[in-house]
Structure 1
Amino acid sequence: MISRFNTVTSFGRVISVRGSLARVGILAPGEMPVSDLRATVGRFISIRCATTTTIVAMITEVTCEHQLSSDEYIATASVDLLGEISGGERAKFQRGVTNYPTIGDAVDLITAQDLRTVYAPSGSDQINIGNLQQDRSVIAYVDVEEMLSKHFAVLGSTGVGKSTSVSLLLNEILQARPNLRVFLLDVHNEYGRCFGDRALVLNPRNLKLPFWLFNFEEIVDVLFGGRPGVPEELDVLSEIIPMAKGIYTQYQNSDRIGLKRMDPRSGGYTVDTPVPYRLVDLISLIDERMGKLENRSSRIIYHKLISRIETVRNDPRYAFMFDNANVGGDTMAEVVSHLFRLPANGRPMTIMQLAGFPAEVVDSVVSVLCRMAFDFGLWSDGVSPLLFVCEEAHRYASADRNIGFGPTRKAVSRIAKEGRKYGVFLGLVTQRPAELDATIISQCNTLFAMRLANERDQALLRSAVSDAAANLLSFVPSLGTREVLAFGEGVALPTRLRFKEVPVHQLPRSEATIASVPSVAAGHDMHFVSAVLDRWRGATSNRDVPSDPGGGSDRPAAARLMTPVEAPMLQPSMGLDPDRFSLLKKPLR
C-alpha cells in the first residue's frame, strides 16, 4: 500500500480534503526521531504538493478512534489549511491556499527554515515581540501598520503578565513609529516609569482640564456625582449654559473691537459647543431667573442647582476642572496641545493616571478625553495619528447598557468604528472581555489572548476570532505567564508565542502619582491647533457662518482646515484679564 505514494519517509499523508480543512493519516514511527512523534494540537505541518508549493497547515485535532482499516496509520489528525510557501530559493509566504492538496500528498512537521519564512519580517514596520512557542529560535514579528490601523486588544486575567505585555508592545511601537502620538489611560498608576523621558505623566495634581470642555452630559454627571440628574434642574442648565457662553464671547468681542452689548441668547452656541464660559456668569443667570419667580416654592430648584455648582466648585478634588473657573480665558488650544503632544517636544506619549481622581468623575474625564481625541482627529483630517490605549476597557464600555456612563461608551465606540479614518487608533486592554461591549471588541482585528479562565470570556473570544485556526483557543485556559495566542491582521498566522523579557526599568508597577509638567507647546504648531479648533467649534454651533469662498468644499469656512497662509492669522487666546469683565461679577437683574 505504501508503494502507491511517495516513498520518502514522511510524518503522514493526506487522506481527505474539504474546503480549508483536511485530514492527515499519521504514519507509524519507523525511523523518525522521537521529537517528531509529538503530533499534537497547535503544531504546524507542511504539505508537499505536486507543484513547488508547500502548504502550511495547523493541527487542530488528533485522534485514533476512527482509524482506517489499514494498519498503516497509527492516528488521524484534522488540520486547517492556512497559507502557502512558494518561490523556490526566494521563498515567500502568503495567507490563503491557491493550490489544494490531493490524496496521498506527503505531510511533514514544518521545519525551522519554513517557520522563519512564514514569520520573516516583510518590511521596516515589523516589531519583535517574542519567540514562537513551537520553536524558540524563530522570532515572532508583528506588523505595526496592520495592528494599529485596524485596532488591537490585549486580553488576559490578572497576574498573567498583561501589563508587562502592554509595556513591551507600546515601547516597541514607539521605537518603530517615533512620530506616532500615544495616549494611555493608566487606571492603576502602574505605567509611569515604563517609558522614561518619552512620556508625559498627568494626574489630578498637574492636569488642567477646564470644566467648559465637558459637554452637557459630562458636566451633568460631574454636578450630580454620577447619579441621574433632576429633570427640572437639567432644563434650567440646558438653557443657561449657552447663554453663559454667549456672555463670555460678547464681552470678549466688545473689549477687542468695541461692540455694544448684545443679547447673549443670540450667540448661537449649543450646550455642547466647546467654548469658554465662567461659573460666575452661570450662577448670575440662574440667580436672575430665580429673582423673577413669584412663587417661593419654585425657587427651591434654583437654590439646589446653585448649591450643587458651588459644592463641586469648592471641592479641592475638582481643582483640575474648576481652577480659575471665574477668570476666563480660552485655553483650549493649550489644553489640546498639552494632552495630545502637539508638538511632542521629545515626549510623544501621554500617561493619564486615573487612580487619584474622584471616583464620581472618572467616567466623565475618560469621556472627555476619548471624545476630544476623536474630534481633533476628525477636524484635523487625521494629519497627526494618535494611538488611544484604554486600560480596563470593560469599565468604560460595558456590554450591559445599564452599567457605566453612556457617553463614555459612545466615545470609545466612535473611535473603534470610525477612528481609523481620521488617524485615531484604539488599543483595548481588559481582563474581562465578556463584560466589554461586543461591538467594540469586534472592531479590533489583532488580538493578543493571554490566559483566560472564565468560560464567558473564552466564549466571547471564540466568537471574535475569524481565523481558520480558532481551535487554538483551547489553549487559552492553560497558557503560562507571558504566553499569548496572537490572531488577526497584525501577525502572519495565528500563533502561540511567548513575549520576550522586558527590561527592569520598563516593568509596570503601582506607584504614587508622578508630577512632571513640561512647558506649554508654542510655535507654529499652536496656529495649526487653533485652526482645527475653529473647524471643531463651527461644527457644534448654529451661528451663521459664511460658506467656503473657494467653493471646494460644502463645509462652512469655520469648518475648513486653514491653509499655511491663513493659519498664522488665527491667534489663540492666551487668557483674559478678569477685571475687564467687572460687570459680570454682579447678578444680572
Structure 2
Amino acid sequence: MKTDITYLGRVINVNSASVEVEISKDIPSAAPIINGRLYKLGQIGTFVKFPIGNLTLYGLVSSVSNTPSTIDNIDYEPDYGSRFLQVQLVGEKLGNESFEKGIGTFPTINDEVHIVTEDDLKEIYGVKKNGHIEIGKHASSENLPVYVSLHNLVLRHSAILGSTGSGKSNTTAHIIKTVLDNGEGARLILVDTHGEYSSAFEGKAKVFKINDKTNPLIIPFWTMNFDELSFFLVGRPDGQEKPEDKQLRDKILELKKANATLLKAGAVDVGYITTDSPIPFDIKKMWYDFDREMNATYNHASDHIAANECLEEEGDPSILKPAKFQPHSPNNTAPYKSKKLTMYPYVGKIYSRLKDSRYSFMFNPSDYYDTTSENDIDHLLRNWIEHEQRLTILDLSGIPFELIDISVGLITRFLYDSMYWGRFEEYTGRNRPLLMVYEEAHSYLPRGEKNSNVYGYARKAVERIFKEGRKFGIGAMVITQRPSEISETILAQVGTFIALRLTNSGDKGTVQSSAPNNMNSLIELLPSLRVGEAIIVGEAINIPSRVRINLVEPRPSSNDPDLAKAWSNVFASKEDNYKSVVKAIREQKNINK
C-alpha cells in the first residue's frame, strides 16, 4: 500500500532486462527510518520489492538518475528533483513459500515498489539450513548472516577472485574452516603453490612438502602418461614419433608389463597394460640398459649380444653408474663399436634429469619407486585423502617452477581417476565427494600456453574436473588475482563466483561476462569494494549479494610485511649474513625458522 512506511514509488517502464522506477514525491526523506533502522534510498546494489497480490518480486538497484530513460514523459517535472531507479529483477517469493531465483511474472506499469527491509532480507536468506554454511554477513547489516549451499559450492564449482590485498587468502581459509566445522566426513585437498596455508591450519591439516621428514611430498614419475614422461625426460613434443621415441615407448611398456604380477595393490592382466598405465618400473635400469646398449663393444662385428660384450666392469643402475667396456678399435677389428645408436640423442638427457636433485621427489620416491618398494599408490592415495584431519595441503613451494604445471596435472589426474573408477565404492567417489582447491591458479591454468614453462598438463586435467567432475563426486575451486588469464573453459563451468575487489578493467570484464545471472550492476561495484568484502553470485547463493567475509585466525602467511616497523629497526652487518640464503638458492630449499 502507498501508505506503508516502506513505500518507495511506482513502475514507469518495463523491459526484458530491467524495470524503471520513479521514486514518489511524497517521501519526505532520502533516508527514512523504518523500525528503528536507517535506510538510504537509491543506493547501488540495494534491493527493492514489487508486491503483486500474493507474489513478491525482488530486484537489485543498478543505476540512479534524476531523469527518466524516456524524456517524453509528460508528467516529468525536472525542477522538482524527481529520482529514477533502474532495477534488475532477480527472484520472487510466493506467499509463505521460500524465495526462488528467476522471474515468472513481470511487474506492470504503475505497480508499487517498496523498500526491502532487514526483515525481508531475512526471509530471502532464511535461517541456516542443512547443507548450508555461513560465508559472512550481508554488507548492509552486520546482523544478517549469508548462507551458501555447500552442494552447489563444491560440485557446481566455484572461483575466488580478487586483486592482491583484497582478502582472497582470508576468504579461502574462512570457507575451508567453515566446511571442516560443518562436515565430519568432508575431504579437501588444497594445492598451495607458495606454502601460505599451513600456518592457518596448524593441527587441522595434513601438510605434504618436499623433503619434509614426516610427510614428504612424493609424486612418482611412473604416474605420468607416456607423452608427459617423454616430454619431461627428453623434450619430445606431442605427436612426434621418431625411431628413438618408439624405442623409448617399447622399453617402458616392456618394463611395466614385467611388473604386472608384482604389484602390491594386486596383479594386473598384461593385456590391459599400455605405456600410459600407472605401473611402477625402474627408470634408472631403463637408462642403464640404453646406455649399455649404446656404449658396449663386442668381440664380433655383427653378433651384438650380451655374451659377446667386451665388458670391463659392471655398472650399478641404482647409483647411475654405467657399465665400462674395452675401447672400440679404430680399425675394423675387435672390439667392435656398437651399432645400436638409436638412443644416442636421449641417453644424456635422461641421465641429466635423473641426476638433478630438484627432481628427487619424482625420481627417488623411496616408498613408491618400483615393485621392490614397500607401498603401491593405494597407500599414497590413502595418505592424501583418508586421514583424520580431512584437509590435505600439498605444499608445492619447493617444486621447481618449470615442474608446477606437470605436477598439478599429475596430482589432479590421479585424484580424478580415483574418483572416476571408485565412483560406486562406499568410502569414496559419489559416496564421499572431494573438493580440490587451486591457489594462484593463473600461473598454471592459463588461457593459452604462452609461457615456456606451462604446456597445458594442469589445465587439461583441471578442465576435466570442471566439465565432468560433479558426476563422480569431485568438485573444484580456483583462486586467482587475474581471472582474465584463466582458461575460458574453467570460467565457463564455474557455478559460483566470489569476487573481491578487482581494479583491472580486463579482469572485471572477464567476471562480468562469465558470471551467471547477468548481474552487471553488482559487478560494476568490484573496484570499490572494501578489503574482505565480496560480490557473490551464482548457484550456491539464493540471491546475488554483497558480503563481508569473516576474518580468520590464525591467518595464512600471505599478508604484507610490516614495512614501517621493519624499516625502523637497526640491522647489524655480519660476515655470516646471506650464507644461509645462498645455500637455500643453491639447494632450492626454503629456510625454516
TM-score above 0.5, yes or no: yes
Name the counterpart of 2:363: 322
1:154-233 matched pairs, under 5 angstroms: 154-205=160-211, 206-224=216-234, 231=242, 233=244
Q: 2:251 aligns with which of 240, 246, 250?
A: 240
2 CA distance for matches of 1:335 and 1:386?
16
1 CA distance for matches of 2:381 and 2:162?
32
What TM-score comes out, normalization by structure 1 length?
0.77
Which residue identity is paired with 2:227? E
Which deviates further from its counterpart, 6-15 or 147-156? Answer: 6-15
- Distance 1:139-1:350 versus aligned 2 partners, 3 A rule: same
Which deviates further from its counterpart, 54-63 or 420-429? Answer: 54-63
- Distance 1:279-1:97 versus aligned 2 partners, 3 A rule: closer
2 CA distance for matches of 1:154 and 1:182?
16
1:268 deviates by 5.4
3-state DSSP of counterpart to 2:82: strand
1:21 deviates by 2.3
1 CA distance for matches of 2:496 and 2:555?
27
For the pair 1:121 / 2:148, whether they are aligned, the reply is no
- Distance 1:514-1:45 versus aligned 2 partners, 3 A rule: farther
Which residue identity is paired with 2:440? E
Q: 1:451 aligns with which of 501, 510, 520?
A: 501
Name the counterpart of 1:305: 346
3-state DSSP of counterpart to 1:355: coil
Q: 1:42 aligns with which of 37, 42, 45?
A: 45
Alpha-carbon displacement from aligned partner over 1:58-115 (angstroms, at most 9, x marks no partner): 111111233643337702111111122333xx56322223343232222122111001
2 CA distance for matches of 1:510 and 1:21?
42
Name the counterpart of 2:442: 394
2 CA distance for matches of 1:245 and 1:510?
49
Aligned CA RMSD, in angstroms, stands at 3.1
3-state DSSP of counterpart to 2:160: strand
For the pair 1:465 / 2:515, whether they are aligned, the reply is yes
2 CA distance for matches of 1:8 and 1:267?
78
3-state DSSP of counterpart to 1:481: coil
Please list every run of 5 or more consecutive structure 2 residues that lacks an aligned counterpart in the other structure.
33-38, 297-303, 306-331, 424-428, 562-588
For the pair 1:279 / 2:327, whether they are aligned, the reply is no
Name the counterpart of 2:21: 24
1:231 deviates by 4.8
Name the counterpart of 2:299: none
Please list every run of 5 or more consecutive structure 1 residues that lacks an aligned counterpart in the other structure.
258-264, 516-589
1:502-581 matched pairs, under 5 angstroms: 502-504=552-554
Name the counterpart of 2:320: none
Which deviates further from its counterpart, 351-360 or 438-447? Answer: 351-360
Alpha-carbon displacement from aligned partner over 1:284-320 (angstroms, at most 9, x marks no partner): 4424653559996976652442333332223222222
2 CA distance for matches of 1:284 and 1:247?
17
Alpha-carbon displacement from aligned partner over 1:394-414 (angstroms, at most 9, x marks no partner): 222211144422222110111
3-state DSSP of counterpart to 1:389: strand
3-state DSSP of counterpart to 2:174: helix
Query: Residues 225 and 361 of structure 1 are in contact (CA less than 8 Å); yes or no, is this contact kept in structure 2?
Result: no
1:200 deviates by 0.8
Which residue identity is paired with 1:332? I
1 CA distance for matches of 2:382 and 2:476?
20
Query: Residues 24 and 78 of structure 1 are in contact (CA less than 8 Å); yes or no, is this contact kept in structure 2?
Result: yes
Which deviates further from its counterpart, 416-425 or 63-72? Answer: 63-72
3-state DSSP of counterpart to 2:508: helix
1:286-365 matched pairs, under 5 angstroms: 286-287=290-291, 289-290=293-294, 302-323=343-364, 324=366, 325=369, 328-329=372-373, 331-339=376-384, 341-342=385-386, 344=387, 346-365=388-407
2 CA distance for matches of 1:365 and 1:246?
25
Name the counterpart of 2:461: 411
1:426 deviates by 0.6
Query: Residues 42 and 472 of structure 1 are in contact (CA less than 8 Å); yes or no, is this contact kept in structure 2?
Result: yes
1 CA distance for matches of 2:420 and 2:371?
30
3-state DSSP of counterpart to 1:197: coil
- Give 1 or 2 for the bigger CA radius of gyration: 2
3-state DSSP of counterpart to 1:350: strand
1:234 deviates by 3.1
3-state DSSP of counterpart to 2:497: strand
3-state DSSP of counterpart to 1:154: strand
Q: 1:14 aligns with which of 2, 11, 16?
A: 11
Name the counterpart of 2:488: 438
- Distance 1:8-1:218 versus aligned 2 partners, 3 A rule: same
2 CA distance for matches of 1:338 and 1:233?
37
1 CA distance for matches of 2:271 and 2:101?
58
Name the counterpart of 1:554: none
Query: Residues 136 and 147 of structure 2 are in contact (CA less than 8 Å); yes or no, is this contact kept in structure 1?
Result: yes
3-state DSSP of counterpart to 1:467: helix
1 CA distance for matches of 2:97 and 2:119?
10
Aligned residues: 495
Select the structure that is richer in helix: 1
1:120 deviates by 1.2
Query: Residues 93 and 117 of structure 1 are in contact (CA less than 8 Å); yes or no, is this contact kept in structure 2?
Result: yes
2 CA distance for matches of 1:375 and 1:115?
43
Which residue identity is paired with 2:525? F
1 CA distance for matches of 2:422 and 2:104?
42
Query: Residues 276 and 328 of structure 1 are in contact (CA less than 8 Å); yes or no, is this contact kept in structure 2?
Result: no
Query: Residues 366 and 408 of structure 1 are in contact (CA less than 8 Å); yes or no, is this contact kept in structure 2?
Result: yes
Query: Residues 284 and 354 of structure 2 are in contact (CA less than 8 Å); yes or no, is this contact kept in structure 1?
Result: no
Name the counterpart of 1:368: 410
- Distance 1:282-1:84 versus aligned 2 partners, 3 A rule: same
3-state DSSP of counterpart to 2:530: coil
Query: Residues 27 and 73 of structure 1 are in contact (CA less than 8 Å); yes or no, is this contact kept in structure 2?
Result: no
- Distance 1:26-1:33 versus aligned 2 partners, 3 A rule: closer
Percentage of identical aligned residues: 29
- Distance 1:149-1:276 versus aligned 2 partners, 3 A rule: same
3-state DSSP of counterpart to 2:360: helix
Alpha-carbon displacement from aligned partner over 1:508-555 (angstroms, at most 9, x marks no partner): 56999799xxxxxxxxxxxxxxxxxxxxxxxxxxxxxxxxxxxxxxxx
